[in-house]
Each structure stands twice: as C-alpha cells, then as structure tokens.
Structure 1
Amino acid sequence: MSVLVFVIVVAVSYLMGCVNGAYYLAKHVAGKDIRQFGSQNAGARNAGRLLGKWGFAGTVMIDAGKTLLALEITNKVSGGNGYWLVFAAFLVLVGHIWPLHLELRGGKGVVVYLAAALYFTPLSILVTAAILAVLFAVFRRFTIPGLIALASIPVTTFIAGHPWIYTAGLLFMLAAVVYAHIAYNPV
C-alpha cells in the first residue's frame, strides 16, 4: 500500500505543481511567455502586470486550486496521514517553482505556500493578512513585508497546536519560497 501511495502522491503532486497558472493564462490569452515580461517570473504578480487584475486573480485561483486538489487527493489515498500531506504540499511547491517542462523556471511559490497553509491551518492566513496589512501600511512595499508575513505561518501553526509535522513542513516550504525569491531576484 505505501509504495502505491508514494507513486500516487509523487506523480499527482509534482505534476499538479507544474501546472503554472500565470504561464498558461499568458500563453492562452496573450500568446506570450510570461517569463519574457516584467519580472520574468511565472507568478501571480507578474500575471497581474501583463494581464491585469483578472490575470492575477485567475493565476491565484489556478495555483491555489491545484494545491488544494493535490492535498485532497493525498488525503484520500493516505487516509489523512500528515506526513503524506506535508510531502504532497512540498512536491506541489517544487513542481511550481521548478517545473521540468518550463526549463525549471516557474513561479516563486507564494500562492502554493498560502494554499497549503490554508489547508493545514486556516487561522494562519488571517494572521498573515493582518501582519502584511500593518507592514505594507508602514513600508508601502510588498516583497519584504510579504516574506515577513509569510514567516508567521509556521509560528501560527505551532501556537495553534496543529501537528508538529505541519509546522515543520511549512518551515521547509517557507525556506523554498525565500530561496526562490532570492534566486529569481538577486539583491
């Protein structure tokens, strides 16, 4: 059973992660490779720059939807095992940031990370939003305040008393998101 679960989780999660909302919306609607415009990143913010508000919203819906669907499939095949769920969430993130068919140049993983947090501990999204609102009001920028707000997710998960594996998984996912931000935007 566990070999079959492993195969299903790896295949479904990584492949769903590779479905990059920004890339496919830009390709379908504008006939362009989003990685050639704006920040040259296949993410929701860049989709918003290229396609407008609906491009941003559509990308968020696709990327959050694929994450939640992969986690729900994993939940069903694993009987709700937290280790499998965290593994699946991380694989969706890896597929999103490093999709093979897009030459390992996907998005930065913020929406995938937020969707996983929503699945594991919905309260963390409210805390993150509150922190981001305060920091944005002070700094009038998104990137650094956004990353600080994202860092609150594992802390909120831990404080809320969710299984430790969710906190650990969200910490690893946060590290991947921060790495993607640094790798795609060297300072």
Structure 2
Amino acid sequence: MLSAFLLLGYLCGSVPFGVLLTRWLRGVDVRASGSGNIGATNVTRVAGKKLGAVVLLLDALKAVLPVALAVHYLPGDAKAHALVGLAAVLGHVYPVWLKLQGGKGVASALGVLVVLVPKAALAGAIIYGLVVARWRVSSVGSLSAAVVAIATAFLTAPSREYVLLTAGLFVLMLWTHRSNLLRLARRTEHRL
C-alpha cells in the first residue's frame, strides 16, 4: 500500500500548475520568461500576483492531498507519511511531464508541513512573509522560512520522522536554490 501512496504523492506533486495556468489563462510559457521557473514566484513576475497566488495555493494543495490520505489510511506510520510528503515535493521538483525540470519545491513543502507539522508550516509562512515584505527577495524568504520550520518542527513535531523530513526538505531547497544562492553572493538576485 505504501508504494501506491508514494506513486500518488509523486504524480500529484508533478502536476505543473504554473505551466498549465499561465499557458491557459495568459497564453505564455512561464518557463520562457522571468527566471524560467514554474513556481508561484515566477508566475507572479510573468502573469501577476493573482495568478501567482493561485499557483502557490495549488502547488501546496497538490502535496496536502496525498499526505493527508496517507495519514488517514496509514495511521501511526510516521515514516510512511514522511516518505509520501517527500515524494510529493520531489514530484514538483522533478516532474515526469516536464522532463524532470520543475520548480524549487517551496510551496509543495509548505503543503506537506501543513499536514504533518502545522506549527512549523505556520512559522515558516510568517517568516517568509516578513522577509519578503522587508527585502523583496523570494529566495531569501524561502530559505529563512525553511530554517524556522526546522527549528519549529524540532520543538513541536509529534515524531522524529517529521523532523528529519523537515530537515531533508531544507537540504533539497538548498539544492534547488543553488543558482539563487550564487546570485545572492554576487548581489544580482531577482527581486519581486
């Protein structure tokens, strides 16, 4: 049964809402504009704040669904819940439909944490909002939020597996943000 949930997590995570919605509603390919990323931040740059917010919500919900189902049908199996969450985020980062060229995984990670460690999700979301409001740099907000989410998960998560997942998602975000980190070091990072 776990393998079915892992596949569901990956396939849900791999739905490229940023690509689909910008193409359907604006007639543009988000991958060919702005930073070229398929996530909510670039959709905001390319197609506006409203569509960016919709993509953010959908990218989070596509991770909420498989994780919530795993929690419901595999109660008490924290390792399974964490693996399904990881599969959903990996689906977003490496979607089969886009030749494994996906987003950074931030919104999907938020969706996973909403289900498994809601206090960490809330703390991360607040920090993201504060950092972006102050410095207008999404990558700094995302990575700051991830650090706060790890600390909050360490203090509040109901299982060690959820803490390890939160830390693992941070490591994945460091990888997906490697070009952002380089631009930050050069002081050429994109602003919102």
Per the TM superposition, whether the score is higher than 0.5 is: yes
* Residue segments in structure 1 that go unaligned for 5+ positions in a row: none
RMSD: 2.0
The corresponding residue for 2:85 is 89
Q: Is the 8 A contact 1:10 1:88 kept in 2?
A: yes
Structure 2 distance, partners of 1:174, 1:98, is: 16
Note the C-alpha offset of 1:128: 2.2
Q: Is the 8 A contact 1:74 1:80 kept in 2?
A: no
Q: Secondary structure at the match of 1:131?
A: helix
TM (normalized to structure 2)? 0.86
Say if 2:124 is the partner of 1:123: no
Note the C-alpha offset of 1:185: 6.9
Residue 141 of structure 1, aligned match among 129, 137, 142 = 137
The residue correspondences of 1:34-183 to structure 2 (distance < 5 A) are 34-136=30-132, 139-183=135-179
* Residue segments in structure 2 that go unaligned for 5+ positions in a row: 184-192
Residue 6 of structure 1, aligned match among 2, 10, 14 = 2
Q: Secondary structure at the match of 1:84?
A: helix
Q: How many residues align?
A: 183
Note the C-alpha offset of 1:155: 1.3
Q: Is the 8 A contact 1:64 1:111 kept in 2?
A: yes
Deviations 1:106-155 (A, max 9, x none): 11110011111111122123322443455446545332243122211121
Structure 2 distance, partners of 1:93, 1:137, is: 25
User: Percent identity, aligned pairs only?
Assistant: 25
